[in-house]
Amino acid sequence: MSYAEVEQRFLALARRFSAAGLGRGDTALVQLPNCAEFYLTFLALLQAGIAPVNALFNHKQNELNTYADQIHPSLLIADRSQPLFKDDHYVELLKARTDNLSTALFRGGSGEDDLENWIDPSLDGLQDISESVIENGPTDPDQIAFFQLSGGSTGTPKLVPRTHNDYDYSIRASAEICGLSQDTRFLCALPAPHNFLLSSPGALGVFHAGGTVVLAANPDPQTCFPIISRHKVTMAALVPSAVSMWLRSVEQAQSDPASENHDLSTLELVQVGGASVAESDARRVPKVLGCALQQVFGMAEGLVNYTRLDDDPEIVFTTQGRPISADDEVRVIDEYGQDVPDGQTGMLATRGPYTFRGYFRSPEANAKSFDDQGFYFSGDLVQRLPSGHLRVVGRVKDLINRGGEKIAAEEIETLLLRHPQVIQAALVAVEDVLLGEKSCAFIVAQGALRPVALRRHLVELGVADYKLPDRVQFIDALPLTAVGKTDKRALRRNLSYGSATIKADKTPTPETL
C-alpha cells in the first residue's frame, strides 16, 4: 500500500466517523490483529479526534471490560475472527455496560458494520463521503491522543494517556536514533499496538521516515524468515524469547545442510526489548544473524532507552541503553529516597518530555507511582553507568514478565480469590529457559481443588491466555513477611524444591486474605 493509498483510506474512515457524529471527546475500544487496518484505524481515529484504547488481540472480555469501564467508548472496532466477536452477544453486553456505545464496526463484518467498507474511499463504499469534512479534527496537541496500555502492577489494568505532542516527540527522536530512512523495511511480528512496536521507533517511526512496515502474525522463525527474505526486511523488533528462537533456528539450519535456508542478508538491525535479554544471546546476534543489535528498555508510561548504533559493542551487549532525550531526568534511588552512586542498584524514577503525568482516572495508583516532584517510579531496579547507560537488574513491582507480556500479580490473585474454594492466592514468577519467566500460583484452598478447575475458573472469567498460571501449587498457608505481607521471595525460593509444601512462619492475618 502506498502512502497515498494509506492517506485516502484513513481520511475516508475519519470522514465517516465524523459523519456518524463521532469526534472530539469520544473514545473508542479497538481490538485488531496485526493487519493494515490497525494502522488505518488508528490514524483515522487520531484525525477525527477520537481517543482509542488499542487492546491486544489476545485480550479477552476480562481485559476489554476493564478498558471499557474506564473510557466508556462510543465506538467499538473489532474483528469477527476473534471468538468473542463471532456474534453480537458480547457487543450487547458491552453496550449495556458502557451506556454510550453507538457504533460497532468489524473487520470481516457485513454491509453497514464492515470496517473495510468504511475504509473504502471509492464510491463503491458505504456512502459517498467525498464532500464531507471532518468536523473538529484532531484533539489539541497537548490533549489525550490515545490511551496506551500499562504493563501494570495493580488489580485493574491501567491506562496511560498519551498526548500528540509527547508521542510524536518520542517517535521522531526514536526514528533518528535508530537511523530510519525511506529504505527501512521494518518487520512488526509482535502485537502492533504495543508501545515498543508502535513507537520505539515502531511502525509510527517508520511512517515518519517514509519507510515500509511489514506485518507478521507472530515472531516464530518459521513465520518470519520467509517474510524477511521475500520483503527484504532491514529491521526487526523482538522480545528476548524471539531472539533466542531466531538464533537457534539459524544455527540449526547452518549445521543441517538438508534444512531450508532463508536469506536474512538484508537484515541490518535487530532490536531487543520488553524483558531482560541474556547477555550470551545478545553477543551471538551479530555473528549468527549477521546484523547489528540494539537494546531497548522502554515503558508504555513514557521513558525509552536505546543503545546507540555507534555505541561500543560491550555497551550494546551489557546495557539496556540510555534515554532518548537530554531532557529525560533519570534518578536511581535507594529505599530512603537518596540517589545512589553510579554502578549501584536502585529504583528508577523518571520525569521528562514524553513521560506521562498520571494514569487515567486512577488517583490511588498515581499517589503510589509518583513522588511530589512528579517523578514516576517504574518499579524497575537499575544501575547507571557514568555514560548514562542503564542496566535493568530486577524490579520491585509485583508483576510477572512472561517473555515481554506483563502479568500484574494482583489482577490474577483477585480473580483467583473469586473461586469459592480459594482462601488465599499469590502469583509469583518462575524462571523459564525460553520466556525468562512464567507464572506460578500458590493457592490455599478449602477442600479438594484441582489446577484444571482453577484454570477453568479463570477462563470463564475471560482472562487472556497468557495470564493463566503456568503452574499451580497448593500450600497450607502463605508465608508472611515481618510486616504481614505475603512473602513472595520465600515462595519463589521454595519453587526450586518442586512441589514441597510451604509452611507459613505465621498464621495469616485477615489483611492478607
Residue ranges in contact with ligand J2J by CB under 6 A: 151, 195-196, 199-200, 273-276, 295-300, 304, 320, 378, 380, 392, 395, 401, 406
Nearer to ligand J2J, 37 or 380 (CB): 380
Minimum distance, C-beta of residue 383 to ligand J2J, in the bound complex (Å)? 12
The C-alpha atoms of residue 29 and residue 11 are separated, in whole angstroms, by 19
Residue number with the smallest Cβ distance to ligand J2J: 298
Nearest to 512 by CA among 457, 458, 442: 442
Strands 212-215 and 185-188: parallel
Nearer to ligand J2J, 198 or 214 (CB): 198
Nearer to ligand J2J, 30 or 126 (CB): 30
Nearer to ligand J2J, 71 or 348 (CB): 348
Contact 118, 129 (CB under 8 A): no
Nearer to ligand J2J, 275 or 412 (CB): 275
3-state secondary structure 441-478: EEEEECCCCCHHHHHHHHHHCCCCHHHCCCEEEECCCC
Minimum distance, C-beta of residue 207 to ligand J2J, in the bound complex (Å)? 16
Nearer to ligand J2J, 98 or 350 (CB): 350
Nearest to 52 by CA among 196, 149, 158: 149
Nearest to 155 by CA among 435, 445, 416: 416
Hey, what's the cell of 289? 544473524
Minimum distance, C-beta of residue 148 to ligand J2J, in the bound complex (Å)? 8
Minimum distance, C-beta of residue 122 to ligand J2J, in the bound complex (Å)? 36
User: What are the counts of helices (DSSP H) followed by strands (DSSP E) for the chain?
Assistant: 16, 22
Nearest to 478 by CA among 408, 415, 402, 427: 427
Residue with cell 557514568: 386
Nearest to 105 by CA among 32, 12, 21, 54: 32
Minimum distance, C-beta of residue 300 to ligand J2J, in the bound complex (Å)? 4
Minimum distance, C-beta of residue 378 to ligand J2J, in the bound complex (Å)? 5
Minimum distance, C-beta of residue 253 to ligand J2J, in the bound complex (Å)? 27
3-state secondary structure 201-216: CHHHHHHHHCCEEEEC
Nearer to ligand J2J, 151 or 352 (CB): 151
Give every CB contact of residue 133 below 8 A, 6+ residues apart in sequence. Answer: 15, 18
Minimum distance, C-beta of residue 357 to ligand J2J, in the bound complex (Å)? 16
Which residue type sits at 474? F
Nearer to ligand J2J, 408 or 477 (CB): 408
List b or e across 308-321, with b for residues whose CB sees 16 or more CB atoms inside 10 angstroms: eeebeeebbbbbbb
Torsion, Cα 34 39 45 49, to 10 degrees, reads: 130
Nearer to ligand J2J, 401 or 424 (CB): 401
Hey, what's the cell of 327? 531532557
Nearest to 304 by CA among 176, 164, 200, 190: 200
Nearer to ligand J2J, 292 or 478 (CB): 292
Minimum distance, C-beta of residue 310 to ligand J2J, in the bound complex (Å)? 19
Contact 411, 150 (CB under 8 A): no
Minimum distance, C-beta of residue 45 to ligand J2J, in the bound complex (Å)? 20
